[in-house]
Structure 1
């Protein structure tokens, strides 16, 4: 028995949302666009979007369109740790909170192996949802000697690992630590939350091929809006 068209289309969109391929805030095709793309009736296209909304995966706004809901956000931890990443670690709009060159001792993240008086680029950004509410604070510190012109970049859209690849910085491996922490007052203010609440901090260290530190960074993310996962295939490979 053939799968109904509405179910096939809905399942495809749901899989893309849950996998992170369509991150929160992403605009879905309109009813008319679904009709054209899949050669279905308006009623079928309308049913697809209505059922996704009923499942809490999308939000429909009159005259604006249909967008992936924040409650549907799932973040793949393997994406955060990947040193070859070419897109933002956390998809969505970013805004620069501060950017400066400071001594390593004054950085808001520990930089193992970096001398206290060594200059580092420190970049702090906010991540927003589709309604422009802050959902995460991101802080990155990179030794100035590796990236003396990093702060000249378009910092709202900068991905540090991509910048390393473009400028020939030989990043080799990354490790992510998952830390439960209490919100300090400054971060709570940025996230519009009360201080002292429990949150998740993803802390990442990236090293060069020679073993020296390339970057130390963290994300502090609202736990009520994000679900983390790691996906691993259990299928056998031809060589196994």
Structure 2
């Protein structure tokens, strides 16, 4: 009888765990949503509060919820990490959070370069660019806004690429060998289109990562990645200088 009870308890534990995980991953319970109290969950699943407590503890250790004394348990704002000195893949960042990835192409325009494009690409001569805007999603929530210009004189194949199916970042990495990259990192307050695209209030603190890449023949691309500040962090690992 004891082993049967243990087996039933383990099965119920997994069922409650899966149900709550699905609510979070699907976006039905967005960041900040309060999880039902232990007593309510115990009544819902006809189990002990101890079983529910173990489930919530496991979810907190996994980083999916935050438990606050006297307030309850809340869905966390998922935060991905990427290395400063690497060209990171946004899809991998999102999948590392155990959330489904998708992206939406918002703008695609081929045009002659303007002074702003020359500044972004750090290129003095005339240039033809492909301007691209994408939103990357973690589950149902916007995770990152990508604003990019590609130098079509250096990468003419980009004009015919299907960026609705494959985001420009991984496409470029697979298509064009790069020799040099530069990162700039800053904080901004979300305004206008950025706030609307990321579904955050105006004035929300955001992290902006700007990156330029070059090949031996010249500039390839400049991209501006904007993250709500609570959804991303940057890390670097280094050793003492010799």
**TM-score per shorter chain, which class?**
0.5 to 0.7
Unmatched segments (≥5 aa) in structure 2: 1-23, 27-51, 66-74, 95-100
Structure 1: 5+ residue runs without aligned partners? 1-23, 27-45, 60-68, 235-239
C-alpha distance 223-166 of structure 1, shift in aligned 2 (>3 A): closer
Structure 1 runs (4+) deviating above 6 angstroms are 46-49
Distance, in Å, in 1 between the alignment partners of 2:138 and 2:130 is: 26
TM-score (norm. length: structure 1): 0.60
Structure 1 residue 158 and structure 2 residue 194: aligned?
no
Corresponding residue number in structure 2 for 1:21: none
CA contact (8 A) 1:174 1:206 kept: yes
More helix as a share of residues: 2
Offset at residue 96 of structure 1 (A): 0.7
Which structure 2 residues correspond to residues 1-240 of structure 1 after superposition, within 5 A?
A: 51-55=57-61, 57-58=63-64, 71-78=77-84, 81-82=86-87, 88=91, 90-91=93-94, 92-105=101-114, 107=117, 110-115=120-125, 117-130=126-139, 132-158=140-166, 160=168, 162-164=170-172, 166-167=174-175, 169-210=176-217, 212-232=218-238
Note closer, same or farther for the CA distance 1:25–1:75 as it changes in structure 2 (3 Å cut): farther
- CA deviation map 1:153-196 (0-9, x unaligned): 331453546434544x3311211110122323111111122333
How far the C-alpha of 1:145 sits from its partner, in A, is 1.6
Of 178-187 and 192-201, more deviation after overlay is shown by 192-201
Offset of residue 231 of structure 1: 3.4
Deviations 1:124-167 (A, max 9, x none): 1001122x111210112111122223243331453546434544
Determine the structure 1 residue equivalent to 2:38.
Answer: none
Residue 190 and residue 165 in structure 1: after superposition, are their counterparts in 2 closer, same or farther (change >3 A)?
closer
Bigger CA radius of gyration:
2
What TM-score results when the alignment is normalised by the length of structure 2?
Answer: 0.59
Aligned residues: 178
The answer to whether the 8 Å contact 1:25/1:70 transfers is no
Change beyond 3 A, Cα 1:178–1:165: closer
Distance in structure 2 (CA, Å) of the matches to 1:86 and 1:193:
23
